[in-house]
Amino acid sequence: MIELVTLEQAKLHLRVDEDYGDADLTLKIQGGSAAILSYTQGSRDKIVDAQGVLIEGEELRRVQTAMLVLLGYFYRNRGGEEEEKLQQGELPFAVTMLIYDLRRPTII
């Protein structure tokens, strides 16, 4: 499973000092990373290589920032309290603002 940010980066961003929620936060990192990589579709090869290793660069920094913003959303809305604000398949605006131009949807 590809993780766009480390647990330590996430805890620093969220200002979490304790360790008891690490497993939950790791699941959120993995799920959020998958959602962001899916959203970026055609630009995935600029973010992660075929072996799943992150590729350093501007695109990675942007998706990492977007991932931290998304973690804040997940952390704040543990029970889906704000889900009515999003349509099915959408990410929060602050997340997509950072990575929108990396999205190149596949046309079938």
d(CA 4, CA 34): 9
* pTM (predicted TM-score): 0.86
Structure tokens at 50: 């075929």
pLDDT in tens, 76-92: 877 665 666 666 667 88
Segment holding 16, helix H or strand E: none
What DSSP state is assigned to residue 45?
Answer: G
Q: Where are the domains of the chain?
A: 7-102
pLDDT of residue 90: 79
pLDDT (tens digit per residue) in 27-69: 999 999 999 999 998 889 999 999 999 999 999 999 999 999 9
Assign 54 to helix, strand or coil: strand
> 4 — phi, psi (to 5°)?
-70, -25
